[in-house]
Amino acid sequence: MAEALTAALLQRGLTVDHAASLDEAEAYMAAVDHAAILLDLGLPDGDGLAWLRRRRASGETRPVLALTARGSVEARVRGLHDGADDYIVKPFDADELHARLLAVLRRQGGYLGVSLTCARLTFDVETRTVRVGETVLTLSTRETELLELLLRRAGNVVPKRVVEDQLFGAGGDQGSKNAVEVYVHRLRKRLDEAGTGARIDTVRGVGYLLRNAA
């Protein structure tokens, strides 16, 4: 069931670490700043809710969604009181779990809008912020616009004309305006220095293409 769940969430664009026990989970949680935690209350090595209570008491703030087969009202109330942000009873639908997960993340801040991604890059359309993994990457306005444009067509070539029209007015200016090339250059430099794992390829005579470097 964990495998199926992991696959379902990966397919929906999330990154997942899977722990088979509470001990293993603690190891993961110490190492990675996860956005949220799915807690199966049927784990073999101890009471999941007691564990959750302890973690909350010692300052754990990450959202926790409890998964369980025990569907009684009392169980649900207890789970929520013990610090769960949502309580989902098996069997559940992957779409609903995904939706509830997004709702919690949205509330927690960050995942407000749709986010575009490529390699380790994520772009939050709502706040117009770029992240490399967890850390925020600050770009100038123009650089952000360019990156968004490329991200929306990630893996596909974006004609140079389109970039010009989108970044600067559609006004067909003349002369030696190589602004696009300059910004592509600046963006490349930033993506590279930040180790994003994303890269911009040039398609001569046509335009540019954002893709995963690996």
Partner DNA sequence: GGCCGGCTTACATGTACCTGACGATTGCTG
Partner DNA sequence: CAGCAATCGTCAGGTACATGTAAGCCGGCC
d(CA 25, CA 19): 5
User: Pick from 1, 16, 77, 182: which binds DNA (CB under 7 A)?
Assistant: 182
Write down the least CB distance from residue 117 to a copy of itself, Å: 7
User: Binding segment for DNA among 93-101, 109-117, 123-131, 180-188 (CB under 7 A)?
Assistant: 180-188
The answer to whether 176 contacts DNA (rule: CB under 7 A) is: yes
Which partner in a copy of itself, DNA, none is near 89 (CB below 5 to 8 A by kind)? none
Which residue matches tokens 């929906």?
Answer: 12
d(CA 172, CA 126): 30
Beta-carbon contacts of residue 172 (< 8 Å; ≥ 6 apart)? none
**Contact track, DNA, 185-204, x by CB under 7 A:** x--x-------------x-x
Burial of 8 (0-12, 13-18, 19+ CB in 10 A): middle
The answer to whether 136 contacts DNA (rule: CB under 7 A) is: no
Which partner in DNA, a copy of itself, none is near 160 (CB below 5 to 8 A by kind)? DNA
Which partner in a copy of itself, DNA, none is near 175 (CB below 5 to 8 A by kind)? DNA
- Sheet with 64-68, strands from edge to edge, namely 37-40, 64-68, 86-89
Which partner in a copy of itself, DNA, none is near 90 (CB below 5 to 8 A by kind)? none
CB of 44 or CB of 58, closer to a copy of itself: 58
Structure tokens at 130: 């770029």
3-state DSSP assignment of residue 70: coil
Core vs surface per residue 178-206: b (16+ CB within 10 A) or e = eebeebbeebeebbeebebebbbeeeeee
User: Pick from 38, 184, 191, 194: which binds DNA (CB under 7 A)?
Assistant: 184
CB 119 within 8 A of CB 197: yes
User: Pick from 11, 21, 72, 140: which binds DNA (CB under 7 A)?
Assistant: 140
- Residues lying near DNA in the complex (CB under 7 A) are found at 138-143, 160, 167-168, 173, 175-179, 181-182, 184-185, 188, 202, 204-206
